[in-house]
Structures are given as C-alpha cells and as structure tokens.
Amino acid sequence: MRFYKGQRFLRKSWNFINLDYRVQAGALQFAILVAAIIAVLLSVFIVLVHSYSLFEKKSDLLIETVVATENSILAELDDFSIKRDTLFKVIDEERNITSKVQKNYWGVFGKVYAQTKVKGKAFEKMALTSGFQSNNQRTSLYLKETHRPLIVVGNTKIEGKVFLPERGIRAGTISGNSYYGTKLIYGRILKSSETLPKFPTQLKNHIEMLQKMPLPVDDKHFIEIRQGKTYVNSFTKPVKTVFSNEELDLVNMQLIGNILIRSNTKIKVAASATLKDVILIAPIIEIEANVQGTFQAIASEQILVGKDCKLFYPSALVLTAEDDLEEVSNKEVKKHIFIDQHTEVKGLICFLQGESKNHFEPQIMLKENTLLEGVVYCQQQLELLGNVAGSVYTGGFITKQFGSVYQNHIYNGTISSLELSENYVGFPLENLEQKVMKWLY
C-alpha cells in the first residue's frame, strides 16, 4: 500500500516536471515569435524611413528643377528679342545645374521653351507670352491724329484713359439719334500723335513669313485629316502641318496643340470642329456660326466670323494686307475682318496695312452685341457697333448707317479698359513688359 502510494507520488511528480518543461518550451517559442515580429517591424520601419528620405530628396530635386525651369523662362522675358539660336546657361556650377532656352513665336504670341538639368534630372516647360500693361498704364482708346474730331452718337460710352486728336471729341447726330451720355469721355483725355503705338517689326515680319513659308519636305510632318478623328501634337515635338491647295473644310474633328492648318485659298471652320491652340493660315478664313474654340486665324484678305461664336482666351484674328494705293473697285475683294452679332472674342483682333485709299469702308467691323475682351489694333478704319472690354488702337472710325457713311463716328459702341481683368496679358505693342499668357503642353 505504501509502495503503491509512493509509486503514484513519483508519477505525479514526473507529470509535474514534464508539464513545467512544456510550459518553458512554449514560452521560448512565443518569445522567438515575438522577437521575429519585432525584427520584421523594425526592418519595415527602417525601409520606410529610408524610402521616405529618398522620396523627399527626389521631390526636393524635382521641385528645384521645375522652379529653375520656370525661372529660366521668366528671366528671358526681360529681353524678348527673338534669337534663332538656343541659349545655354550654367545656373549653378558646383551643383551642376544647367539650362537651355529657345525663343520664337507661335503666331502673334511669343513662345519660350526652357529645359533644366539638375544632377542628371531634366525637366522642360514652355509658355506663350505677350505684352502686359498695368491698370494705371492701360489705354482705353488711342485714335491717331487725323485732324478730325471724334464724334460720339447714341449709346456710345468710352471709359478710361483716352488719346484723341487735337480737335478732341464732340457729340453728334445720326438720322435723328443724338448722344445720350452725360459725359463725352468717362476718364482722362490726352493728345495722340499721327502714328499709332508701334506694332513690333519683328513680329509683323514673322506673321507675313508664316503666310509664305515653304511646306515641310518630310511626310512625317504632315497630318491627313478625316472627319470624326482627333489629332493632338505636343509643343515639345516638331510642328505638324495640315495643308490643301483648295478650300479646306474643318468639320466634325478635333485639332489640338502644335499644328499649323494651311490653305492656298480658304479655310472654313464648322461648329462641329474643335480647335485648341492651333493656327489657321489662308487668304480667306471663314468661321461659321456657333463655333467655339481657342485658336489663331491669320489671313491676307478676309476673316469672317459668324453669329454666336465664342473664341476663348488667348485667341487672335490677324489680317496683314498689302498697301492699297488705288481706290478699291466693287469687284475687288474688300480686305477686312468681320465679327457678326452675339459673338465673343477673348484675345486680339488686328488689322495691319500701312497705306490705303479705301476711306469709305471699315477694315474691322464689330457688329451689334459683339464683345471683345482684349485688344483691337487697326491701322486703318474701325466700325464699332459692339462692345470692347479692353483697349482700342485705330487709325480712324467709320460707321455706315441709314444709307450714309459717317467718318470718325462711333454709333452705340462701348469701350472700357476698366472692365478688362487687371491680369490680362496680350498687348502686341513694342517695348512693353512681357509676361506669361499660358503654359503649354
């Protein structure tokens, strides 16, 4: 009996020892597992810290490269004379920061390209540029000296700084309609000269060259357009050209970016076409009713814009005409820019012609309820029946009402430089400060 009890005691003691051993072995395994998890977490943390540090350095490098590129562009705006050669600069020799800059034109606007390299990383950027005038410098109307007064009739209103001929301004009457304003000018009056503020010679030569330049030789620089298609060309790539000897109809398609659209006769833009940042070049350009887009149209004979169009900023309508040394006959094509009713243009309307004997026809016509936000620059005659929020520079006014022609008259037209955004960029005049209009892609 005692032996049996002793044996049972020994067995219980052995079980206790075995259980204690299992508990210690399990604790060791748990400790190893915890240590492994901690090691993994520490490793992940170290990798994350390293990755974050590396990412932060790369981000700083990228930001520094972008800033250096923008600064390279802005630095070139201080002296915007076009040079065909690429300019190379060393920004920081110790840190090996270099840049290259190219300046030329895109239509009537400047174009600046810059590429910056920082520690082997390269970044490129491109911008459209033009002239800028602050609010206190901005001209509302500049009418050159023609030894005639300006006559205002109807609901005409001119607001802002105005340059007028020596004979000044007075109220007039057309077919029983008198002037209804309380002041002749709502602003300051200064004396004009016999010439308009100068349009840059280099820019004018470039616009004329665009209409005569040879076509590309390589087929890869052409685009064969088809209805229903979209064509995009980045400004970082060589320019692409759409060309036709005959009339070119742009219908139901999209053309975006660094693309020249040229015809030897006529370009017609339908409302179903989408144009963005492209340039149209032809003797005659017709923009049909309800067209919306952002583009430049450069012609030598006519630009016709239909009703209810919206041309967004920065758009431009530019006509360069040869001098008319004789009276224009009824059979000849009258060179002019015509903007029909309820159309909005945000940008520039420009007519360039040195001499003309055509004193009884307007060269730019803004019909009733049209709106221009920007600049009108006309070296000949302007008929203003609509509204200009911005600046008008013109050689003279003319209006044709009730079967008669009235020279140097404005009938129901309005001009206000105060209604134009103070940040507006797009004055194509010589010796103005240059600023960025738009960043390209």
Q: Are the beta carbons of 143 and 169 closer than 8 angstroms?
A: no
Q: Are the beta carbons of 385 and 367 closer than 8 angstroms?
A: yes
Among left, alpha and beta (phi > 0; psi -120 to 50; other), residue 201 is alpha
- Which neighbouring-strand residues pair with 143? 394
- Distances 25 to 14, 16, 20, 369, 417 between C-alpha atoms, Å: 17, 14, 9, 93, 89
Structure confidence at residue 1 as a pLDDT band (50, 70, 90) = very low
Cα–chain-centroid distance for residue 392?
A: 20
The one-letter code for the residue type at 351 is: F
Q: Give the percent of the chain with pLDDT over 90.
A: 69
Contacts of 418 (CB under 8 A, 6+ apart): 135, 140, 159, 160
Q: What is the pLDDT of residue 168?
A: 97
* Residues written for the chain: 441
* Token reading at 8: 């049972």
The larger pLDDT score, comparing residue 273 to residue 83, is at 273
Q: Is the dihedral of CA 139, 140, 144, 150 positive or negative?
A: negative
Structure confidence at residue 231 as a pLDDT band (50, 70, 90) = very high
Structure confidence at residue 3 as a pLDDT band (50, 70, 90) = very low
pLDDT tens by residue, 192-204:
999 999 999 999 9
Separation of alpha carbons 52 and 62, rounded Å? 15
Q: What is the pLDDT of residue 355?
A: 85
247-252-253 Cα angle (round to 5): 85
Q: What is the pLDDT of residue 2?
A: 47
Contacts of 435 (CB under 8 A, 6+ apart): 77, 129, 130, 131, 132, 425
pLDDT tens by residue, 64-107:
667 778 887 888 787 666 666 677 777 777 777 788 888 999 99
Q: What is the pLDDT of residue 332?
A: 67
Nearest partner of 264 among 250, 279, 285, judged by Cα: 285
The larger pLDDT score, comparing residue 267 to residue 53, is at 267
Nearest partner of 151 among 184, 118, 125, 183, judged by Cα: 184
Q: What is the pLDDT of residue 61?
A: 58
The one-letter code for the residue type at 441 is: Y
Q: Is the dihedral of CA 224, 127, 320, 82 positive or negative?
A: negative
Q: Is the dihedral of CA 412, 375, 285, 396 positive or negative?
A: positive
**How much is the pTM?**
0.84
The larger pLDDT score, comparing residue 330 to residue 116, is at 116
- Distances 377 to 293, 297, 320 between C-alpha atoms, Å: 22, 15, 12
Nearest partner of 106 among 132, 133, 85, 126, judged by Cα: 126
380-383-389 Cα angle (round to 5): 100
pLDDT tens by residue, 250-259:
999 999 999 9
Please report, for the chain, the start and end positions of each structural domain, with discontinuous segments joined by +: 1-134+433-441, 141-432
Separation of alpha carbons 215 and 222, rounded Å? 9
Q: Is the pLDDT of residue 142 over 50?
A: yes
* Token reading at 418: 């105060």
